[in-house]
Structure 1
Amino acid sequence: MTTQTLRQPTPVPARTGGRPGQEAAAPAQAWAALGIRARDCAGSALAAVLGRRFGSATQLRLSGGGGQLLAPAPDRQQALQLAGQVREDLGDGVWISVAWRPYEELGSGVYEAANVLAVVCALNRRPGVYQLGDVAVECAVASSPAVSRCLAVLIEPVVTRPELLATLKALISADGNRARAASELLIHRSTIDYRLQRIEQLTGHSPTSVSGMRTLCTALAARALLRLQGTSPQQS
């Protein structure tokens, strides 16, 4: 991961230093933490685009086609507007998570934004701006270590079969519409029906039922958060 400081030093920990005898400037009282993942966009391109607009932003951390932007934001609405500006600059193929915190709690904001982005991408949500409320159920259930590990183990047989994982994600993106998911995957309706039956056989939960889809979505979210934390489903 590369880090490009746009102007000010990183806000965590609190700023210190400066010329001898000179008191360091106090940081802004509240901040936006944005997680960014862009389709077909390298880190250098992201840095160029974001650096031009947000020259006063505190820090930009990039790795591949994604990263993190921390910037002063006086309130939650300003944080959302900042996220909207980033999406406007980067185009339609970008996923952005946004959290807002007082300066002293910025660390938890960074953690929240990272989790939301991981879940949104794991669930194959359409590009856009997302907050915790958009994936609150998945994050809440997955926040329990024991439950999270159980769900991650449940979904593993699907994840290890690329065609089944792609089918499940396409169905999620299509809001459960099998015809639309089949069209997106360029496969016949009978093929998607067979794959969905296999998912049910492997997990015990049907992707075509409301309760089954909810469980499978939450399992994908749990697995994504465990991977973000560098934790194996088998670890206690």
Structure 2
Amino acid sequence: MTTQTLRQPAPVPVRPDGGPGREAAAPAPAWAALGIRTRDRVDSTLAAVLGRRFGSATLLRLSGGGGQLLVPAPDRQQALRLAHQVREDLGDGVWISVAWGPYEELGSGVREMTNVLTVVCALNRRPGVYQLGDVAVECAVANSPAVSRCLAALIEPVVTRPELMETLKALIEADGNRARAASELIIHRSTIDYRLQRIEQLTGHSPTSVGGMRTLCTALAARALLRLQGTSSPG
């Protein structure tokens, strides 16, 4: 596995192979922060693709077929363009989150990018490019500690039952279409209906209603972010 290290923030660019780049007198005034997750790419392939596009003007950390990328960008529109260019370079099966901000706020930009990617993957969203606005409700609610704990407890009975979790994620990916979700899971329509009823019984929220689905999605996001924060905390 190839791993490059990203310091947050870091004033000196590094090459995609992890070695030092040309010395910089000062960091770029504004940066795009990109989070990347792939289905089947290896780190060395990612490093090669990203290196060809950005050269030494990047700060990069890769591990487990995904990672974090910082690139100088003058404005938010350019940051979004860079994210779409990276997705085109990497092809299908790639999730990219993007945040932008001045160098002085680089740390908060990295946290925003990380949270968005965590939530998008927890909700089984389709591959694509995502910003905070795409999951603003989930991130906002999930970032309230008391609400997060309540929602995480609510969804836990579903998470501990693989067939229910699989069904809920399939329904999310199918935009609430039960027939499409059943087809994706290769199960009978009556089976998916039974599982969705069990989810409602366990959580008190129906996955087949707009409000219920929103609550369950937010609960999944809250649990994912709590787990991320627990992993990231010292000790």
Instruction: Please say whether Structure 1 and Structure 2 have the same fold, judged by a TM-score greater than 0.5.
Output: yes
Offset of residue 4 of structure 1: 2.6
Match of 1:40, SS state, is coil
1:69 aligned residue: 69
Which whole-Å CA distance do the structure 2 matches of 1:77 and 1:38 have between them? Answer: 23
1:49 aligned residue: 49
Offset of residue 121 of structure 1: 0.4
TM-score normalised by the chain length of structure 2: 0.90
Which whole-Å CA distance do the structure 2 matches of 1:87 and 1:123 have between them? Answer: 20
Structure 1 residues 51-60 or 185-194, which shifts more? 51-60
1:18 aligned residue: none
Deviation string 1:156-212 (CA, Å, 9 cap, x unpaired) is 111111111110011111111100110111111001001101111111111011111
Matched-pair contact (CA < 8 Å) for 2:3–2:43: no
Check if 1:12 corresponds to 2:3: no
Matched-pair contact (CA < 8 Å) for 1:95–1:117: yes
Which whole-Å CA distance do the structure 1 matches of 2:24 and 2:171 have between them? Answer: 53
Q: Which ranges in structure 1 are unaligned for 5 or more consecutive residues?
A: 16-22, 232-236
Which whole-Å CA distance do the structure 1 matches of 2:103 and 2:80 have between them? Answer: 17
Matched-pair contact (CA < 8 Å) for 1:11–1:58: no
Which whole-Å CA distance do the structure 1 matches of 2:34 and 2:49 have between them? Answer: 15
AA of the residue aligned to 2:29? Q
Match of 1:230, SS state, is helix
Matched-pair contact (CA < 8 Å) for 1:31–1:100: yes
2:131 aligned residue: 131
Check if 1:201 corresponds to 2:201: yes
1:181 aligned residue: 181
Pairs aligned (count):
221
Identity, % of aligned pairs?
Answer: 87
1:120 aligned residue: 120
Which whole-Å CA distance do the structure 2 matches of 1:213 and 1:69 have between them? Answer: 32
Counterparts of residues 1-236 of structure 1 (less than 5 Å): 3-4=3-4, 10=7, 12-14=9-11, 25-230=25-230
Which whole-Å CA distance do the structure 2 matches of 1:200 and 1:61 have between them? Answer: 40
Q: CA RMSD in A?
A: 1.7
Which whole-Å CA distance do the structure 2 matches of 1:171 and 1:27 have between them? Answer: 44
Match of 2:61, SS state, is strand
Structure 1: 4+ residue segments shifted above 3 A: none
TM-score normalised by the chain length of structure 1: 0.89
Which whole-Å CA distance do the structure 1 matches of 2:98 and 2:76 have between them? Answer: 9
AA of the residue aligned to 1:202? L
Offset of residue 101 of structure 1: 0.6
Offset of residue 3 of structure 1: 4.1
Distance 1:32-1:220 versus aligned 2 partners, 3 A rule: same
Distance 1:52-1:197 versus aligned 2 partners, 3 A rule: same
Match of 1:12, SS state, is coil
AA of the residue aligned to 1:31? W
Which whole-Å CA distance do the structure 2 matches of 1:80 and 1:61 have between them? Answer: 20
Distance 1:117-1:11 versus aligned 2 partners, 3 A rule: closer
Q: Which ranges in structure 2 are unaligned for 5 or more consecutive residues?
A: 13-22
